[in-house]
């Protein structure tokens, strides 16, 4: 496995592979890798000739500076995990490499960018789009792999790649045995928060089971009461949206695909999850 820190070198190495006709799969990450990330790497190793992963904690997508400071960083163990999965190249640039000058680009995602994460974390998706476009330009992959846990990010990136010839591969959420969606942030949970956090997925399962053909308001009340009864949990938002447009809906009717999305604070750690209501 090659570790590359500069975009120029990355482009050169990949152009050689491309000339040989190799297909390139790409998994962008912010490190602190867990089995969810590794499932994306595995998928690319099976599908593509070359697998490139990036490790870069992108400052422009953090609206909260203390969240950026506390974001877990484990470069050494990340490299070891990527090597054991037979990743071909790791790209791990520093801030000067990715932002030699401020990036003033402003992306417009339409209504899709204004709900849920877009509403709660102003500027977050603009920062994601800045770094993902820089990384796509550097790697020029045939396929890029993203997890469905970041459901809205996935929809926004799918919109973004209309300008690129890249296939976006959406991969299933990987969960702990107790249902908690795997996330780099889980390592920041206290014992009490970790004990309470599986209630998030259990609540989503109950919504899926009990609220078909009912009003979203009823589901919202149910979710708020269930989550907030745990001392360490605080609901930030629960929303049911059209799975394609991300427009919020009022009725849980099976005429369109719907996804229930949730963000919860476990102490100071923000966790997100989602479930497809009709699958």
Euclidean distance between CA atoms 112 and 42, whole angstroms: 30
x-or-dash string of contact with ligand PAF, 128-157, rule CB under 6 A: x--xx-----------------x--x----
Decide if 68 contacts 107 (C-beta within 8 A): no
Among 25, 28, 36, 113, binds ligand PAF (CB under 6 A): 28
Decide if 201 contacts 179 (C-beta within 8 A): yes
Measured from the CB atom, the residue of 150 and 196 that comes closer to ligand PAF is 150
Q: Which stretch binds ligand PAF (CB under 6 A): 22-30, 67-75, 105-113, 170-178?
A: 22-30
Min dist CB 268 to ligand PAF, Å, is 19
If binding is defined by CB under 6 A, does position 29 make contact with ligand PAF? yes
- Active-site residue, from 34, 37, 124, 142: 37
Measured from the CB atom, the residue of 103 and 220 that comes closer to ligand PAF is 103
Tokens of 134: 């820089």
Euclidean distance between CA atoms 164 and 179, whole angstroms: 35
Give how far the C-alpha of residue 193 lies from the chain's centroid of Cα atoms, to the nearest Å. Answer: 21
Measured from the CB atom, the residue of 134 and 226 that comes closer to ligand PAF is 134
Measured from the CB atom, the residue of 65 and 177 that comes closer to ligand PAF is 65
Q: Which of residues 31-60 bind ligand PAF (CB under 6 A)?
A: 58
x-or-dash string of contact with ligand PAF, 92-131, rule CB under 6 A: ------------------------------------x--x
Burial 17-52 (b: 16+ CB within 10 A, else e): bbeeeeebbbbbbbbbbbebbbbbbbbbbeebbbbb
> Does the annotation count 142 as an active-site position?
no
In DSSP notation, 196-211 reads HTTHHHHHHHHHHHH-
Measured from the CB atom, the residue of 149 and 226 that comes closer to ligand PAF is 149
Pairing of strands 258-266, 233-242: antiparallel
Euclidean distance between CA atoms 237 and 114, whole angstroms: 14
Binding positions for ligand PAF, rule: CB under 6 A: 28-30, 58, 61, 128, 131-132, 150, 153
What are the catalytic residues?
A: 37
């Amino acid at each position: 496995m090659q570790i590359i820190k500069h975009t120029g070198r990355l482009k050169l190495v990949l152009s050689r592979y491309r000339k040989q006709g190799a297909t390139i799969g790409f998994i962008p990450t912010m490190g602190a890798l867990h089995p969810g990330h590794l499932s994306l790497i595995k998928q690319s190793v099976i599908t593509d000739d070359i697998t490139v992963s990036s490790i870069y904690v992108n400052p422009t997508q953090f609206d909260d500076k203390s969240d950026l400071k506390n974001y877990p960083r484990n470069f050494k163990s990340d490299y070891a995990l990527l090597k054991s999965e037979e990743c071909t190249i790791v790209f791990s640039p520093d801030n000067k490499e990715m932002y030699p000058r401020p990036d003033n680009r402003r992306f417009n995602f339409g209504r899709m960018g204004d709900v849920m994460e877009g509403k709660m974390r102003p500027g977050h998706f603009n920062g994601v789009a800045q770094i993902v476009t820089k990384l796509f330009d550097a790697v020029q992959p045939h396929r890029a792999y993203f997890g469905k846990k970041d459901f809205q990010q996935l929809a926004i990136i799918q919109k973004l790649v209309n300008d690129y010839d890249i296939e976006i591969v959406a991969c299933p959420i990987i969960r702990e045995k107790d249902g908690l969606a795997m996330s780099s942030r889980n390592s920041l949970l206290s014992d009490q928060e970790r004990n309470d956090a599986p209630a998030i997925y259990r609540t989503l399962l109950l919504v899926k089971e009990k609220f078909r053909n009912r009003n979203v308001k009823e589901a919202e009340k149910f979710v708020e009461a269930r989550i907030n009864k745990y001392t360490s949990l605080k609901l930030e938002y629960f929303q049911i949206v059209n799975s394609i447009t991300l427009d919020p809906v009022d009725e849980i009717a099976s005429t369109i695909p719907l996804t229930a999305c949730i963000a919860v604070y476990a102490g100071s750690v923000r966790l997100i999850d989602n479930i497809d209501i009709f699958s």
